[in-house]
Every structure is written in C-alpha cells, then in structure tokens.
Amino acid sequence: MIDHLGLQTADSEAAAAFYQQVFAACGLREAMRYHTPHGPVIGLCGPDGHPQLWVSPMEDTGHRPVHLALRAPSREAVDEVFAAARATGTEILHEPRVWPEYHPGYYGVFFRDPDGNNVEAVHHSPPS
C-alpha cells in the first residue's frame, strides 16, 4: 500500500501529463497543485480523490531512479496501461504477464517514466 510518493522530476508538468495519460485506465487524475519558485508541485490521485503521487521540480540532478508500483483495478487495466505507455514511445521493461515468483495472481507491466524511473502497473487476483 502506498500512502503517497513524491518524485523529483525534470519537468513536473510533463511528468503529471505522462502519468495521467498512461494510468487513465486506473482513474489517475490531478487532485491539486501548488506553485514554487522552481515550478509546480502536482498531487495526483486515484478514484478516491486523495493525492498519493506527487511530482515536483528536481532539487538536484543526481541519478535517483525510483521503482513505483501503482495498483490497477483489473488485468485489462494493466493491459490498457501497457498500450498507453507504448503509445507514448516510452521504454517497456517487461510486457504484461503473470509474475508467479511474486505470487500466482500477480499480473504486471514495467516501463520507464520520462525521468528514467521503473514504473509498474499491477493487479493482484487469484490465478485464472
């Protein structure tokens, strides 16, 4: 479970747009934003409206990739995230599949976001 996660990004507007486009099938949308001298800090939420993913301007340019897994409501939504990520031309690390090494109902896709982070959409369900 993720309460919230903050990512420092090269361009918070572009990062927020990317996440909203790719995770549209999961109901991801902008909940709020506030402005800083270095650019906007944008809170993204799921269907509950609570901002859990924050993108903000990078504080320094060091290499700090993050792994972020967002829960999808269904396997079909994972597949839709994959299609949307592929449509943006992003690097796909692993196409959607069952990952039995995690557990039998773990279905996920892995890709890079615009800042090089390893992002995953995952659905947990009983094996079919």
> For residue range 59-104, what is the model confidence (pLDDT) as tens digits?
776 766 688 999 999 999 999 999 999 999 999 999 999 999 888 8
Q: Are 40 and 90 in contact (CB under 8 A)?
A: no
Give the number of other CB atoms < 10 A from CB of residue 85: 23
Q: Tokens for 97?
A: 């599949």
> pTM for the whole thing?
0.76
What are the phi and psi torsion angles at 73 (to 5°)?
-75, -15
Best CA proximity match to 22, nearest among 64, 68, 84: 84
**106-126 confidence digits (pLDDT tens):** 999 999 999 888 899 999 987
